[in-house]
Structure 1
Amino acid sequence: MPDPLEEVYQAYKNPVFHYLYNMCRNRTTAEELTHDTFIKAIKGYGQFRGESSLKLWLFKIARNTYLNNARKFSQKNEIPYAEPELQVSGTTWNIDTEMMVRQTLHKLTEKERTLLVLREQGFSLSEMADILVQTEGSIKVGIHRAKKKFKEYYLEGEGERK
């Protein structure tokens, strides 16, 4: 009989890692935070009341784990995350674009970055509202503003490269 916690881990480890990697942009840190997220989830599984989906519950834990980790570094006045290692995708244009997107994402606030990353991962407005403990309306407005700000920063970066 398969272990239900192992099944949860196998089903959600990649989406949780992807979210954390997009937030901190460092593979090693994202792996550590993913590990910490699942340890916290396993320890707290008995307190999961089923008021939301297991996926939403895990992403709440992942976000809190990320925020706590970032807070520790900011209290020490350290830079929390090193530049990521690039995944060479074949052409110079793709690498340049990828770097621009990463740099632009890091100009956004944590909340703006979270909104864009969760949306990119396919979360609905309702699910995002549950994870971030906000109304759907504020999520919708936040996404609109984050996209607008992202576009503005991206275009500024494009102008600087020319």
Structure 2
Amino acid sequence: MMKNPKEDLLLDALNGNINAFQSLFAEFQPQLKSYLYRLLANRNDAEDITHDTFIKTYDKLKTFKSQASLKTWVFQIATSIAYNYLKRRQRWVPNVSEKAKSLVQNNEELAGKIVKVAQTSEYGKYEIKEHIDTCFTCIAKNLPIENQIALILKDIYDFSIKDICLILEKSEGIVKYLLQNARGSMTDIFDNRCALVNKKGACNQCSELNGWFNPKQNQQQELLKLDLVKKSKKYNREELFKLRTNLVKAIDPLKSDGHELQNILLKCNQMAMGEIDINNSII
């Protein structure tokens, strides 16, 4: 019988070989960091907690019992660290983007930094699909933390209900309830705010930002590229939510063509929520 290289690596790691553990950890580290970024909405925080998770999981590796995969066990520890961090923050509000817009409009220096990233950065490109990804993150932060975690793990990263139960240390019934509640809340907020699919939607930021960063681009043509818009008259609210999650799943928020621009826009939202001091922030 052929040996499983991963089993050998895990055995070496359990025997104290940090290089073996690093090899195992590296396989899902990009996804872990992406997940934490969606939870925390801050690249530096995501990187710090990823680093803390590596140290903590290596230190606790001898307690790993293989009742779940190593990946699920690591995500459980990372989620616990992120959860404790998020408990110190308030939930975001549905109109956080509008608050951030007002903040930027009244701060020339901040507006100038955003324009500079958009005009000079290799990763400052803007497409509506990337804004929808950011919008998904912002709206998810309106949810209670456990609902947010369950939703992102299941609908964006395809974790099973069983694995989410282990990560959150909740029963199957509670996890299913958290998911149902989260999807319903997200659908309601999107339905009331998204101006892409609802003419009465309150948030026109997609159109406004596109006009700011891509003034020569035909806005209508850009909108029509999105299945979300094409199918908005055909599908119900729940199906539209699934379309959004499929779009978000296809994007790595840390590596997209517009990730630097999206990062600064999320920081503006953090400023609007009082998580970052606008006077002392380095963007």
**C-alpha displacement at 1:141, in angstroms?**
2.3
Equivalent residues of 2:139, 2:186 under 8 A apart: yes
State how far apart, in whole Å, the 2-side matches of 1:108 and 1:89 are. 29
Gaps of 5+ in 2: 1-7, 10-18, 93-99, 101-116, 195-200, 205-283
Q: Letter of the aligned partner of 1:64 in structure 2? A: S
State how far apart, in whole Å, the 2-side matches of 1:45 and 1:161 are. 46
Closer, same or farther in 2 for the Cα pair 1:88/1:122, shift >3 Å?
farther
Specify the alignment match of 1:136 in structure 2: 172
Q: TM-score, normalised by structure 2?
A: 0.49
Specify the alignment match of 1:69 in structure 2: 85
Specify the alignment match of 2:147 in structure 1: 112
Q: 2:138 aligns with which of 103, 123, 144?
A: 103
Aligned partner of residue 82 in structure 2, secondary structure = helix
Q: Deviations over 1:124-152 (max 9, x none)?
A: 11111111112222222221111111010
State how far apart, in whole Å, the 1-side matches of 2:125 and 2:191 are. 22
CA RMSD of aligned residues (A): 2.7
Q: TM-score, normalised by structure 1?
A: 0.81
Q: Deviations over 1:7-50 (max 9, x none)?
A: 12211211211211110011111011100001100111122222
State how far apart, in whole Å, the 2-side matches of 1:139 and 1:54 are. 21
User: When the two structures are aligned, how many residues end up with a matched partner?
Assistant: 153
Q: Letter of the aligned partner of 1:114 in structure 2? A: I
State how far apart, in whole Å, the 1-side matches of 2:173 and 2:124 are. 38
Closer, same or farther in 2 for the Cα pair 1:134/1:26, shift >3 Å?
same
Closer, same or farther in 2 for the Cα pair 1:121/1:96, shift >3 Å?
closer
Equivalent residues of 1:113, 1:146 under 8 A apart: yes
Structure with the largest fraction of helix: 1
Q: 1:154 aligns with which of 176, 190, 196?
A: 190
**C-alpha displacement at 1:68, in angstroms?**
2.4
**C-alpha displacement at 1:161, in angstroms?**
2.4
**C-alpha displacement at 1:118, in angstroms?**
0.4
**C-alpha displacement at 1:70, in angstroms?**
2.8
Q: Which moved more, 1:143-152 or 1:10-19?
A: 10-19
Aligned partner of residue 50 in structure 1, secondary structure = coil
Equivalent residues of 1:116, 1:147 under 8 A apart: yes
**C-alpha displacement at 1:88, in angstroms?**
5.1
Q: Letter of the aligned partner of 2:62 in structure 1? A: G
**C-alpha displacement at 1:116, in angstroms?**
1.1
Moved over 4 A (4+): 85-90
Q: 1:15 aligns with which of 31, 44, 48?
A: 31
Gaps of 5+ in 1: none
Equivalent residues of 1:89, 1:95 under 8 A apart: no
Equivalent residues of 2:86, 2:145 under 8 A apart: no
Q: Letter of the aligned partner of 2:151 in structure 1? A: L
State how far apart, in whole Å, the 2-side matches of 1:116 and 1:88 are. 28
Specify the alignment match of 2:71 in structure 1: 55
**C-alpha displacement at 1:101, in angstroms?**
1.8
Q: Letter of the aligned partner of 2:167 in structure 1? A: I
Larger Cα Rg: Structure 1 or Structure 2? 2
